[in-house]
């Protein structure tokens, strides 16, 4: 096990436990280059999922990505009230939903039965 691998293991444990003093001791030995790469690795691996995303949440996320470009400027920043309007449009689109393959809208079915 190299010094960098050893440092990565200690750094990850330190981040989890919140013990920064141990991390600083090892950082002095290893050097700045190893510290910066290890911190990036530790940050990337520390995220955990708290709960399963709801179906509506997933639909809203996809709708927001579709709609967002309409409310942004050419440079990528939001227009005036752009984020607010994009959220509103995305919620409307997500709420609307759509018919799945093989489904028929109730109104269309009722009209056909008459």
Q: What is the overall mean pLDDT for the chain?
A: 79
Tell me how far apart the alpha carbons of residues 64 and 42 are, in angstroms, rounded to a whole number. Answer: 31
Where do the domains of the chain lie? 3-45, 55-96
Asked if 10 contacts 22 with a C-beta cutoff of 8 angstroms, the reply is yes
Residue that is written with structure tokens 């509506």 in the block:
56
Kindly report, residue by residue over 51-88, the tens digit of the pLDDT: 999 999 999 999 999 999 999 999 999 999 999 999 99
| Residue 67: predicted pLDDT | 95
pTM of the predicted model over 0.75: no
């Amino acid at each position: 096990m190299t010094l960098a691998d050893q440092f990565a293991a200690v750094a990850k444990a330190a981040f989890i436990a919140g013990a920064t003093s141990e991390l600083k001791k090892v950082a002095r030995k290893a050097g700045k280059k190893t510290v910066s790469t290890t911190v990036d690795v530790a940050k990337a691996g520390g995220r955990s999922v708290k709960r399963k995303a709801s179906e509506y949440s997933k639909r809203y996320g996809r709708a927001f990505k579709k709609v967002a470009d309409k409310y942004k400027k050419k440079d990528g920043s939001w227009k005036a009230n752009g984020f607010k309007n994009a959220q509103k449009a995305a919620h409307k689109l997500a709420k609307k939903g759509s018919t799945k393959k093989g489904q028929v809208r109730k109104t269309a079915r009722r009209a056909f039965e008459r």
